[in-house]
């Protein structure tokens, strides 16, 4: 009798592992899940993320995945989240895939979110970090072919998720893990990449759980604000870094479930410590274990209609001239010279960039979950600002969404300078830093999309 009572208490509290089943709320949505292997054939391709690399990859340590989570409410409102184990997806890919999905599946652009984990042990994707792209001509065709294949797979994974819609309930809550560290080390001579123990961080782990009517976990969408750079430039095997290991850990604890990782605003955050494979495994284990722990608890239910909004902001670049790039084209730094030639071509065609078109998106459920998705390598200041500005919302604030055109510094980071504010723009093929308008323009756009989803 005592054993039966204890079992009932645990079931009601939702504390038993999946083998016994968590609490079973009534299905409020229809949810579909899908995944596709996007590992380059043969595991050999130019890798993205580190300028120091001078050779292509040497096989795959882990498979790389594109995964999709489709959610439909009782009135037909929908959301599709596509996650990828990639450095970043440019708009030349996401706009193309979104247009196809909108046409075939009658989606709105605001209902589709693309996110990249920003692994630095993944393949180069054409249109992202092109200045740092394949430096050996013989390896460029493989990048072109991979990018073309990727577009088709992203469209397919969206369709597969929408074709898998089944009754489900949603719940959301937060965990926490502490391996992310602010990497902007303030020195007398400027800002370097290191560890800043007093710099801003956000160690929260937002978790969205999908339960089937029988109480089985079907999918878990989770995020963390930290670069996937545990594995540094000397690592030449393809992998998802800590995020890949974290997804595998979650899936090992929930048989048959799909774990989807969302990169949050980790532009100025690095794993600490790093540079060893066992550390990537350790960080992934810590994150995945925390996600699984939260998913086994009585999480707060998500309910109501799905509301979405998507718009483009305009972020102005600091003034630049043709003469400055003519001078830079002779720079001994090959990446500066590449960027200069790219800019001179733009000047010659009268399309020199003066501003960046920047995607800002919000998806809100009536109760329990709000997803804010920002483009680019967003620094942590923006996530903390969104949380302060909308204290009543249960938030997941992502960067690396819908487009990854460059770093997105806050006013503080822009004033301090350093890699995220200035130097990184070389590798992204941008003309230089933003003006001080970057932060207020993004904040205004966030407030506008949030106002639309809260009506």
Helix axes 380-389, 438-453, angle to 10 degrees: 40
pLDDT at 139: 87
Q: Residues 198-218, buried b or exposed e (16+ Cβ, 10 A)? A: eebbbbbbbbbbbbbeebbbb
Report pLDDT digits (tens) over 48-87. Answer: 999 999 999 999 999 999 999 999 999 999 999 999 999 9
Report the candidate in 229, 291, 286, 237 with the shortest Cα–Cα distance to residue 261: 291
pLDDT at 126: 93
Band the pLDDT of 5: cuts 50, 70, 90: very low
pLDDT at 27: 84
Using CB atoms within 10 Å of the CB of residue 59, give its burial: 0 to 12 exposed, 13 to 18 middle, 19+ buried.
exposed
Q: Whole-angstrom Cα distance, residue 229 to residue 195?
A: 13
Q: Whole-angstrom Cα distance, residue 89 to residue 93?
A: 7
Helix axes 277-295, 241-253, angle to 10 degrees: 40
Indicate the helix (H) or strand (E) that contains 305.
strand 300-316
List Cβ neighbours of 42 (8 Å cut-off, separation of 6 or more).
none
Q: Length of the chain, please?
A: 455
More confident position, 332 or 27: 332
What pTM did the predictor assign?
A: 0.94
Report the candidate in 267, 221, 252 with the shortest Cα–Cα distance to residue 83: 221
pLDDT at 353: 96
Q: Which residues make beta-bridge pairs with 192? A: 185
Band the pLDDT of 19: cuts 50, 70, 90: very low
Report the candidate in 130, 135, 143 with the shortest Cα–Cα distance to residue 90: 130
Q: Whole-angstrom Cα distance, residue 255 to residue 23?
A: 17
Give me the DSSP letters along 344-369. HHHHHTT---SEEEEEEEEEEEEES-
Average pLDDT, the chain: 94
CA atoms within 13 A on the CB side of 419: 14
Report pLDDT digits (tens) over 274-295. Answer: 999 999 999 999 999 999 999 9
pLDDT at 26: 78
Q: Whole-angstrom Cα distance, residue 78 to residue 105?
A: 11
Backbone angles phi, psi at 23, to 5 degrees: -55, 145
Report the candidate in 180, 212, 266, 207 with the shortest Cα–Cα distance to residue 28: 212
Helix axes 140-162, 91-105, angle to 10 degrees: 30
How many helical (H) and strand (E) elements, i.e. helices and strands, does the chain have?
11, 18
Instruction: Please tell me whether residue 330 adopts helix, strand or coil conformation.
Output: coil
Q: Whole-angstrom Cα distance, residue 252 to residue 294?
A: 15
Report pLDDT digits (tens) over 112-159. Answer: 999 999 999 999 999 999 998 877 788 889 999 999 999 999 999 999
Report pLDDT digits (tens) over 344-394. Answer: 999 999 999 999 999 999 999 999 999 999 999 999 999 999 999 999 999
Q: Whole-angstrom Cα distance, residue 117 to residue 115?
A: 7
114, 401 Cβ separation under 8 angstroms: yes
Report pLDDT digits (tens) over 382-427. Answer: 999 999 999 999 999 999 999 999 999 999 999 999 999 999 999 9
List Cβ neighbours of 217 (8 Å cut-off, separation of 6 or more).
18, 22, 209, 210, 211, 254, 257, 295
Give CA separation, 213 vs 21, 81, 166, 177, 367, in Å.
Answer: 11, 22, 9, 30, 20
Q: Whole-angstrom Cα distance, residue 257 to residue 244?
A: 15
pLDDT at 23: 60
Helix segments in 239-395, DSSP class H = 241-253, 277-295, 322-328, 334-348, 380-389
65, 36 Cβ separation under 8 angstroms: yes
């Amino acid at each position: 009798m005592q054993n039966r009572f204890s079992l009932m208490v645990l079931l009601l509290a939702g504390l038993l592992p999946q083998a016994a089943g968590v609490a079973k709320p009534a299905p409020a949505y229809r949810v579909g899940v899908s995944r596709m292997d996007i590992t380059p054939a043969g595991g050999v391709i130019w890798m993205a993320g580190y300028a120091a690399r001078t050779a292509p990859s040497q096989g795959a340590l882990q498979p790389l995945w594109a995964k999709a989570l489709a959610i439909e409410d009782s009135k037909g409102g929908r959301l599709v989240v596509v996650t990828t184990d990639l450095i970043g997806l440019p708009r030349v890919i996401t706009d193309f895939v979104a247009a196809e999905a909108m046409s075939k599946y009658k989606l709105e652009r605001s209902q589709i979110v693309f996110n990249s984990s920003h692994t630095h042990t993944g393949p180069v994707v054409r249109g992202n970090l092109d200045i740092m792209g394949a430096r050996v001509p013989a390896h460029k065709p493989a990048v072109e072919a991979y990018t073309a294949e990727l577009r088709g797979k992203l469209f397919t994974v969206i369709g597969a998720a929408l074709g898998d819609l089944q009754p489900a309930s949603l719940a959301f809550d937060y965990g926490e893990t502490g391996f992310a560290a602010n990497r902007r080390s303030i020195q007398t001579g400027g800002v370097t990449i290191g560890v800043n123990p007093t710099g801003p961080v956000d160690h929260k782990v937002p978790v969205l759980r999908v339960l089937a009517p029988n109480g089985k976990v079907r999918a878990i969408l989770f995020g963390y604000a930290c670069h996937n750079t545990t594995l540094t430039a000397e690592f030449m095997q393809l992998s998802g870094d800590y995020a890949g290991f974290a997804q595998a850990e979650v899936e090992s604890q929930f048989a048959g479930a799909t774990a989807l990782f969302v990169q949050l605003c980790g532009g100025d955050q690095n794993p600490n410590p790093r540079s060893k494979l066992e550390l990537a495994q350790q960080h992934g284990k810590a994150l995945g274990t925390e996600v699984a722990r939260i998913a086994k608890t009585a999480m707060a239910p998500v309910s109501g209609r799905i509301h979405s909004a998507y718009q483009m902001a305009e972020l102005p670049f600091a003034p630049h001239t043709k003469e400055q790039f003519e001078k830079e084209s002779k720079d001994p730094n090959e990446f500066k010279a590449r960027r200069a030639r790219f800019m001179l071509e733009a000047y010659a065609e009268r399309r020199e960039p003066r501003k960046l078109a920047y995607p800002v998106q919000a998806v809100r459920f009536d109760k329990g979950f709000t997803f804010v998705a920002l483009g680019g390598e967003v620094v942590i200041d923006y996530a903390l600002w969104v949380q302060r500005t909308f204290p009543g919302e249960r938030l997941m604030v992502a960067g690396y969404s819908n487009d990854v055109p460059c770093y997105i510094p806050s006013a503080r980071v822009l004033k301090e300078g350093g890699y995220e504010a200035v130097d990184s723009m070389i590798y992204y093929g941008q003309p230089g830093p933003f003006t001080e308008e970057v932060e207020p323009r993004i904040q205004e756009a966030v407030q506008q999309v949030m106002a639309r989803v809260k009506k």
